[in-house]
Amino acid sequence: MIRTFFVFLFIFLFLLITLPLDLVLYLISRKNPDLQIRICRKIIHWAFTFILWICGVHIKADGQENIPEGAVLFVGNHQSYLDILTTYVSIKGGTGYVSKIEMDKVPVFNLWMRGINCLFLDRDNIREGIKTIKKGTEELKKGYSMFIFPEGTRNQAEEMLEFKAGSTKMAEKANVPILPVAISGTADIFENNAHFSVKPGKVRITFGKPIIINDLAKEERRFLSGYTQNIIKEMLNSHKQEI
């Protein structure tokens, strides 16, 4: 429980102490949005790294050489809140995330999320969902990578939930590669423990080879979400075989 206490204490102090900085970053964004994003991403990278250190998380990340230059749509399975922290610190240059709309209601926290190009998706409102996809497409075209968890919610079950239809639309519309990401071990550090206490552990992340959409067969492009999910399943199976 002591680790859990220090994690939440750090998050509270971070949000409190950096509150004036949010105003400075907002002013910077008015004149130089790219600079504001770079500053935010470096600060969040440091904060996430420190939180993972408190938690006692050891990350083994494979396939980072598969991350190409330029924007990509990262697509991963989702087991834990720690999926965001562990993948973020493993991606050079950072990335924005597609998050549920409820996260946009958390004061101060939502400002930092917006600062690193996160988007908030309302799955119950089709019209707003389309707007979010369009916004994500624009960010990809600008050169900013995005990360999406197509299961739609955290899932600690043995099998992944079916990927939501349209989860790869941003990559298709922006004509950027899809990078499948397999994540194991994060739920055992937090969600699977009694009272959601933090327990030290190892996290395995595998970045697959980029999926170039235009190089796929017609049938594969037609069912692109399922095609991507099958690749992630194979990578997760390889994680189990190595244990």
Q: Among 145, 140, 162, 144, which residue's Cα sits nearest to residue 153?
A: 162
The pLDDT value recorded for residue 197 is: 84
How far, in Å, CA of 50 to CA of 42, rounded?
12
DSSP 150: T
Strand order in the sheet with 119-121: 57-62, 201-207, 178-184, 73-76, 146-148, 96-100, 119-121
The answer to whether residues 151 and 164 touch, using CB atoms and an 8 Å cutoff, is yes
Task: Give the global pTM.
Answer: 0.92
The pLDDT value recorded for residue 243 is: 53
- The ranges of the chain with pLDDT < 50 are none
DSSP 58: E
- 196: region left, alpha or beta (phi > 0 left; psi from -120 to 50 alpha): left
The pLDDT value recorded for residue 232 is: 96
DSSP 161: P
